[in-house]
Chains A and B, each alone.
Chain A
Amino acid sequence: MPILVFVESAEGSIKKTSLEAVAYAHAMGGPVTAIALGDVDKAALEALGTYGASKVLHAADPKLNKGVVQVFASVLAKAMQDEQADILVIANSSLGTPVAARVAVKVGASLISNVTALPDSSAGFIVKRSIYSGKAFAYVALKNQKKVLALKKNAAAIKEVGSTVQVTPYPVSLSDADFAVTITSSEKATGEVLLPEANIVVSGGRGMKGPEHWAMLEELAKTLHAATGCSKPVSDMGWRPHHEHVGQTGVKVAPQLYIAVGISGAIQHLAGVNSSKYIVVINKDADAPFFKAADYGIVGDAFDVLPKLTEALKNAK
């Protein structure tokens, strides 16, 4: 039985979290059929074979260029049926997670999101998932024959395991009823590393003293090829856009490295970063609670430490 993986693209290339989903399905034992919807670069689709897909389906209907949740859910439910796939794997995202929810209802699947590790199939099918905003985990048994899994970032490591594959066109018949929602426009930062996808995140808090000082953080982020984030007060005050707000009610990140500058470390902020592998805290207040959650800490003034750190990183390259 193939495992179906929905892959999302951003600016033509496949999202890293979707490559993780392919790797996850491959590590489960595959065979893996990846499916992409809308306008996606052909070479990027062929390259999915390298990461473990043995078949790649592409539904290129231009009506799929905008990610309407209901439409995507119908296409994926149909694809599960056509490919006789019992399992659908999706990376958590603003599109992927709601799509997973609707597909699960359509096909009568056990649904689980925020999956953090490969399933244990020694007794049934048990997956580990993150709960309480990363403060705990739950092991959950999926009992239905059909299963839909939405993965949290880092659920599987991307590996090169094969070679490129031919892309198979996947024809779709779309129902007008699924287009009840019209996406009129979108605003998207281009050319930047996306926060939920980033391996390294550099975040600033109130200690940065004002939006005019962000160039310093951006310089460090550029050097590290990192995304920039911020604390809730910074986004509330309008210094930075809301989609950069990291925390309990903002974006939850899971990078290899999180560098927090001038953020005290309120528990609501920690809830957004506790899945990071390593945390560096730079704060002039030695009693900032964030140091307790950090791996490395520097007590110092951001305006003094930041340029020095950027310089040292440039020299170390």
Chain B
Amino acid sequence: MKILVCISHVPDTTSRINFTDNNTKFDTTGVQFIIGPYDDYALARAIELKEGSGATVHVINVGLVDTEPTLRKALAIGADEAIRVNAEPTDSFFVASQIAAQSKAGNYDLILMGRESIDYNSGVVHGIVGELLGLPSVSPVMKLDIEGNKAKLAREIEGGKEYLEVNLPFVAGCQEPIAEWKIPNMRGIMSARTKPLKVVEPVAADGGIKLSKFELPPPKGAVKMIPADNVGELVNLLKNEAKVL
């Protein structure tokens, strides 16, 4: 079985978000980049499948050369090969088109990724890749088991879970608790240095969207503290000041 795991290169979850160039560029000053937390779950499940029943795991990222350490980390976690599509990931359709093109070339049985990236949170790349390839897409997947050519999945829905079955190949957007995050060990880190990291040029794709500018939310006002023995005052404020009751 050949598995492709799509890796987003995103700011660490604790990052402070700022913009530069007249609010048109993300300010990377002091920001640490990581494997997208949801993609990390997808990767962990792929490695479990590899360890369980044998599989080849490739990882892919659409990004410029600065994303290579993130791909190397995915190799250290246990992926066999990495592909970097040498382009700025401008929008979901562009990124999905690159993944679809590489998926076709690599003939994968399973394409996994996170339910969404944590920078744009769009949650659409798995659907676009599925549609472009004419494959089913399922998200957010919290359980994935493969028996022969068939997969049994559980997907989170509002207020519960849905259980599904689908034949390979298909695309899945993953989330916890599909697998436990894996931390690379020293052997993994050493071997990652020599594993293949292929750089390919992008295919043409235009999703018809263009960023105009970024904006930060207005700063939060100061908190009003209410004594614990006067909850009536909180009720009063919620009713008459916030008007939410």
Measured CB to CB, the closest approach of chain B to A58, in angstroms, equals 22
A140 near B225 with CB under 8 A, answer no
Given contacts A94-B140, A111-B209, A184-B165, contact A137 B128 (CB under 8 A): no
A137 touches which one: B125, B159, B215, B228 (CB < 8 A)? Answer: B215
Q: Which of A32-40, A202-210, A286-294 contacts B (4 or more CB under 8 A)?
A: A286-294
Given contacts A136-B17, A257-B242, contact A102 B137 (CB under 8 A): yes
A105 near B128 with CB under 8 A, answer yes
A184 near B131 with CB under 8 A, answer no
Measured CB to CB, the closest approach of chain B to A66, in angstroms, equals 9
Q: Which of B44-52, B65-73, B150-158, B193-201 contacts A (4 or more CB under 8 A)?
A: B150-158
A299 near B163 with CB under 8 A, answer no
Q: Which of B1-9, B53-61, B74-82, B233-241 contacts A (4 or more CB under 8 A)?
A: B233-241
A140 near B158 with CB under 8 A, answer no
B237 near A305 with CB under 8 A, answer no
Measured CB to CB, the closest approach of chain A to B114, in angstroms, equals 9
B242 near A278 with CB under 8 A, answer yes
* A93 on interface, CB distance cutoff 8 Å: yes
Given contacts A132-B17, A248-B37, A257-B244, contact A94 B155 (CB under 8 A): yes
B231 near A308 with CB under 8 A, answer yes
B122 near A195 with CB under 8 A, answer no
- Secondary structure of the B side of the interface? mixed
Contact flags A178-218 to B (C-beta < 8 A → 1, else 0): 00111111111100101111011000000000000000000
B156 near A126 with CB under 8 A, answer no
Measured CB to CB, the closest approach of chain A to B94, in angstroms, equals 11
- B170: chain A residues at CB < 8 Å are 180-181
A98 touches which one: B126, B160, B215 (CB < 8 A)? Answer: B126
Q: How many residues of B contact A (CB 8 A)?
A: 76
**Which among A105, A143, A293 has the greatest number of chain B C-beta atoms within 10 A?**
A105
Measured CB to CB, the closest approach of chain A to B168, in angstroms, equals 11
* B102 on interface, CB distance cutoff 8 Å: no
Contact flags B116-156 to A (C-beta < 8 A → 1, else 0): 00111111111110111000111110100000000000011
* B226 on interface, CB distance cutoff 8 Å: yes
User: Which positions in A face B, CB cutoff 8 Å?
Assistant: 10, 69-70, 73, 92-95, 97-102, 104-106, 108-114, 126, 128, 130-144, 150, 180-189, 192, 194-197, 199-200, 224, 242-243, 248-249, 252, 256-257, 267-268, 271, 274, 277-278, 280-281, 291-301, 304-305, 308-309, 312-313, 316
Q: List 13 A-B residue pairs with CB atoms under 8 Å apart, sorted by A's residue number.
A: A94-B155, A140-B209, A142-B208, A142-B209, A186-B161, A188-B159, A243-B158, A249-B175, A256-B244, A267-B13, A295-B224, A298-B231, A312-B235
